[in-house]
Amino acid sequence: MENIINHFNRYLPLEEEEKLALTSRLTERKIKRRQFLLQEGDVCKSFTYVQSGCFKMYGVDDKGVEHNLAFAVEDDWISDIGSLHKEQPSKLFIEAIEPSVVLQLSKGDLWYLYSNYPKFDRNFRVIIEDKYIELQDRLLQTVSATALNRYESFINQYPQLVNRLPSTQIASYLGVTPEFLSKIKNERFKK
């Protein structure tokens, strides 16, 4: 629980009572590689903090092709916020790429913390704002950047993932084929 306390302390440090309120509402889960936190059609019921491991969030198109939207590694959050907030079936999957340990906070417990401890409202607002900024940057890159520029941005955003993920996962995130990603890597290496 120390990691998540330190995570929150980077925003607004928590008092002992707030730490206890948080830790008493968290559920720790061990997740196997390729196990799902969320599947398409299910309603997302929690925010998930990654203590260890790696996850991908993706959708599948009509042709059965995966499109990676985001990755989450240690000291990061992952959730289908739309499904969680609206309590509607998700269009996404959240899957473990590696064996992982997560801490989950249900929507009801999250709202309890918001209502009773204002720091959590502020802390989660900043966390969600940061994720929104990432999404805006990713969307802008998707429509305006070259594949090479998108790959370089990926390296900057996820430096710890370049060697942890198979090229197929990175290619899906970038919206290119694994073969084209190989060309990009070779081009970058030559420079």
190: pLDDT strictly greater than 80: no
- The token pair that represents 61 in the structure block: 């198109």
| Assigned domain for 163 exists | no
In whole numbers, what is the pLDDT of the chain averaged over residues?
94
Tally of structural domains, the chain: 1
pTM: 0.91
| Assigned domain for 153 exists | no
Residue range 43-63: mean pLDDT, rounded: 97
| Assigned domain for 177 exists | no
Contacts of 44 (CB under 8 A, 6+ apart): 38, 79, 80, 81, 83, 84, 90
| Assigned domain for 148 exists | no
Q: What is the rounded CA–CA span in Å between residue 99 and residue 160?
A: 16
| Assigned domain for 52 exists | yes
How do residues 119-143 score in pLDDT, each as one tens digit?
A: 999 999 999 999 999 999 989 998 9
Contact between 75 and 50 under an 8 Å Cβ cutoff? The reply is yes
How do residues 19-33 score in pLDDT, each as one tens digit?
A: 999 999 999 999 999
Residue range 48-70: mean pLDDT, rounded: 96
| Assigned domain for 168 exists | no
Q: What is the CATH number of the domain that holds 95?
A: 2.60.120.10
Residue 70: what pLDDT? 93
pLDDT band for 18, please (50, 70, 90 cuts). Answer: very high
Q: Which domain holds residue 23?
A: 2-117
pLDDT band for 188, please (50, 70, 90 cuts). Answer: confident
114: pLDDT strictly greater than 90: yes
| Assigned domain for 36 exists | yes
| Assigned domain for 184 exists | no
